[in-house]
Structure 1
Amino acid sequence: MSEEVYLQPLTPAREIPNGVRLAGGPLRFASALLAHRAAGSVQRRACALDEIPPDRLARFSAVRPPFAGVAMDRPSVMGIVNVTPDSFSDGGDRFDQARAIADGLAMWKAGAAFVDVGGESTRPGSDPPTLDEELARVIPVVRALVDQGVRVSIDTRRAKVMAEAAAAGAAVINDTSALSSDPHALRVAAESGLPVILMHMLGQPRTMQQAPHYDDVALDIYDYLASRVQACLDAGIPLSRVCVDPGIGFGKTVQHNLELVARLALFHGLGCPVLLGASRKSFIGKVSRGEAPKERLPGTLAVTLAGLDRGAQIHRVHDVAETLQAVALWQAVGAVTANHDTLESQILTDSEAGA
């Protein structure tokens, strides 16, 4: 499913008292970038809100319902637990299940709204484990964390793993192939009744970084995610159970990743929560000084703040406590700014009334 006209809210902020609220969250916007794509070219121009059809504007402004019981009118954090021997980010630190369980529980106690458990490394060039290997890695960890009251997300492309994790108490299905890799995934996800996260990935992990190309990275990925949202609707998964993820680092160059972060507000047009997963990704080191994955926390926080400024509701990270600290300060400064703008607006209104 492709659209010919795309809308991207421009400079959403708390400091726009008369703007439209973005996805029911703390930010507002008063104008948008309109992109018209036809015959292989894209024309862009800024437009005012009164130029946007009400139904399109409603997609951006509507309050998102809770996702797996987590409010979407404020940012939340998802902690990453890779039960793998070869993940790019942690080098297999949590391949030991006892360590994975302990670290997942620590993330939950630190304030993560979700703990995302995965048993397949999707680093560039990687090959998947067998189904039995993946099940053996993740199901005991899912079960143990659920038993401790943790809201677990299962990170998998396989329908069998989704079903087993759901039976073990997982609350969310997170599929890097947007429920397209396994022919049974859509049916299993629909029957589970669980919310789903649909991520964009170009090709397969083994090949995705081999000269990735897009006509327009943000618009192409928007179209892909729109088609996967529609596939969910057709399979009986309502929009209230869908979240989208543009897939930072999954078949993208450095420039692609930067463009996706900069244009992230575009994806609110799909009418569901947006997840940003940029934690420790290689483009951070490439933009900076070539830091190793575990040395990319400052860059990760910078990208997280950029995502917050564009209304992303869920932030998937390795460093939960540090990210929550950054989010808390972003919220606190924003609240002060919003209060000042409300006061200034009231002063102006009173002044005009007395004129």
Structure 2
Amino acid sequence: MHRPHLMGVINLSPDSWYRESVVTSTEAAIFRARRLHAEGAHLIDLGAESSLHHAARVDPARQIATLLPILEPLVREGALISIETYQPEVARRCLEAGAAVLNLTGTRPADDLYRAVAQHRAGIILCYVQGENVRSVGDFIHSPDHASALLDYFRREIDRAVHAGVHAIWIDPGLGFYYKNLQDSTARIRYQAETFLHTFRLRTLGWPVCHALPHAFELFQDEVRSAESLFAVLAILGKTDLLRTHEIPKVRAVARTLGILA
């Protein structure tokens, strides 16, 4: 059975509702990063602004001031850190400070950011976004053959990134957390499950696939922390390469068990 790598999550925005991943100080963020690493995370994703549509905007200067005091000591310790952002200045400053991966949640100015990633010999996660960035999307446009639409999008962006000199790329088909017409849990979860199970088609592009695991609060309610374990099964069956999860120990156990049963 295909065994994925795991990306742990640290949310620096109080608007992020998954409380277990939210930290309110530099010290707490560093502590959580060390804990995630000890629990089995291969990569740790830092974000200073929530992608939820109602969340407050955080200007680039404030994001940089929040991220760098956390990023720099972790890099010195040898941790692999990903920065989730769509802000060019935030991306550049964090790459300069040693971020290993840019988790790009926007589409502009992509070419400049691809060159910055290449300059710092970092990797990039290309997120599928129908709009300029995750905070500026409207309704999700679902094509009859969505997997083919994803393939077309990623072929184009991969070509641009490779042309700019990027050598480490993950593709993230996006799971509709932020689109207005996918806030209904049933529609969103069906789309997410379909996307997971079609992951193998995206792998034909020759690059690893990353998925952010959903939590489906409307269905799981008090057991919401169990949701990512369920979706991890679908993602692993689809041969996902990198799982972004708030629940490293639970998802690691799922991945290990599926590997044994295969």
TM-score (norm: length of structure 2): 0.87
Kept in 2: contact 1:84–1:92 (CA 8 A): no
The aligned counterpart of 2:119 is 191
1:259 aligns with 2:186: no
Counterparts of 1:92 and 1:129, CA distance in 2: 18
1:247 aligns with 2:174: yes
Seen in structure 2, the aligned counterparts of structure 1 residues 279 and 106 have a Cα distance that, compared at 3 Å, is farther
Q: Deviations over 1:313-344 (max 9, x none)?
A: 1100011111111111111111xxxxxxxxxx
The aligned counterpart of 1:139 is 68
The aligned counterpart of 1:329 is 257
1:225 aligns with 2:154: yes
1:85 aligns with 2:14: yes
Kept in 2: contact 1:79–1:317 (CA 8 A): yes
Q: Which amino acid aligns with 2:193?
A: L
Gaps of at least 5 residues in structure 1 are 1-25, 28-73, 335-355
Counterparts of 1:159 and 1:192, CA distance in 2: 14
Aligned equivalent of 1:278, options 213, 219, 223: 213
1:285-324 map, 5 Å: 285-286=217-218, 288-289=219-220, 291=221, 295-324=223-252
Aligned equivalent of 2:80, options 151, 164, 178: 151
The aligned counterpart of 2:100 is 171
Counterparts of 1:176 and 1:319, CA distance in 2: 21
Counterparts of 1:205 and 1:195, CA distance in 2: 20
The aligned counterpart of 2:58 is 129
Kept in 1: contact 2:154–2:171 (CA 8 A): yes
TM-score (norm: length of structure 1): 0.66
Return the offset for 1:92: 7.8
Q: Which amino acid aligns with 2:59?
A: T
Kept in 1: contact 2:111–2:164 (CA 8 A): no
Q: Which amino acid aligns with 1:124?
A: H
Counterparts of 1:191 and 1:264, CA distance in 2: 30
Return the offset for 1:223: 1.7
1:19-30 map, 5 Å: 26=1
Counterparts of 2:139 and 2:82, CA distance in 1: 31
Return the offset for 1:211: 3.0
Kept in 2: contact 1:218–1:259 (CA 8 A): no
Counterparts of 2:45 and 2:22, CA distance in 1: 15
Counterparts of 2:196 and 2:24, CA distance in 1: 30
Seen in structure 2, the aligned counterparts of structure 1 residues 297 and 181 have a Cα distance that, compared at 3 Å, is farther
Q: Deviations over 1:104-131 (max 9, x none)?
A: 1100111110011111211123353111
Kept in 1: contact 2:111–2:161 (CA 8 A): no
Counterparts of 1:312 and 1:127, CA distance in 2: 31
Q: Which amino acid aligns with 2:92?
A: A
The aligned counterpart of 2:44 is 115
RMSD over aligned CA atoms reads: 2.1
Return the offset for 1:224: 1.4
Give percent identity, aligned residues only.
23
Q: Deviations over 1:24-76 (max 9, x none)?
A: xx45xxxxxxxxxxxxxxxxxxxxxxxxxxxxxxxxxxxxxxxxxxxxxx311
Moved more, 271-280 or 249-258: 249-258
Return the offset for 1:91: 8.3
Gaps of at least 5 residues in structure 2 are none
Return the offset for 1:181: 4.7
Kept in 2: contact 1:249–1:278 (CA 8 A): no
The aligned counterpart of 1:268 is 203
Return the offset for 1:244: 0.4
Kept in 2: contact 1:83–1:97 (CA 8 A): no
Q: Secondary structure at the match of 1:296?
A: helix
Kept in 2: contact 1:81–1:94 (CA 8 A): yes
The aligned counterpart of 1:6 is none
Return the offset for 1:174: 1.1
Q: Secondary structure at the match of 2:19?
A: coil
Counterparts of 1:235 and 1:207, CA distance in 2: 26
Return the offset for 1:206: 3.8
Return the offset for 1:279: 3.7
